[in-house]
Amino acid sequence: MLELYSVLSRVKLDTPIENLTINSIVYFIIKDCKLNVISIPLIARRSIADYKATIPIEYDIAMKLSRKLKLRTLDLIHLAYTSLLKRKDITDMFITGDKEILECREEILAITGVLIKDPSKLE
């Protein structure tokens, strides 16, 4: 959902989209595309020097992936969340047109077990 809000908030229109309208558009997309909004409320404990933190598990996974994949933050969070969904047997695929993710799809598969697909190549 965050990605939908992010993309819609950056769309350049003659008339700006208000928050209420963005909410309506996101709701419509979720309903029209028959999407399921899934949440996995897990936490991780992380120690850095003397600092101890409790963070969402997807952030912990994203931090670990960052060293290997060197992708942008939101891309890492998407992949971390998808890897959690794979562990729960909810999905094993991530569809994206993002060139950076597509370029390291084999490494992502090896690390997370998540198959990366280009939407232009779906059958």
**What value does the mean pLDDT of the chain take?**
89
Q: What is the mean pLDDT of residues 38-54?
A: 84
Same domain, 106 and 63: yes
Please state the pTM of the whole predicted model.
0.73
Nearest-angstrom CA–CA distance, 111 and 109: 6
Write the pLDDT tens digit of every residue in 14-45: 776 666 688 888 999 999 999 888 777 788 99
The backbone torsions φ and ψ at residue 53, rounded to the nearest 5 degrees and listed phi first, read -135, 150
81 or 5: whose pLDDT is higher? 81
Same domain, 18 and 56: no
Q: In the predicted model, is pLDDT for residue 110 greater than 90?
A: yes
Residue 37 inside a domain? The answer is no
- pLDDT at position 19 is 62
Same domain, 80 and 117: yes
| Parent domain of 100 | 43-121
Same domain, 110 and 86: yes
Report how many domains make up the chain.
2
Tell me how far the alpha carbon of residue 21 is from its chain's centroid: 23
Write the DSSP symbol of residue 47.
Answer: E
Same domain, 98 and 52: yes
Same domain, 7 and 66: no
Same domain, 28 and 50: no
Residue 19 inside a domain? The answer is yes
Same domain, 97 and 60: yes
Same domain, 96 and 76: yes
Residue 38 inside a domain? The answer is no
Residue 103 inside a domain? The answer is yes
Same domain, 10 and 69: no
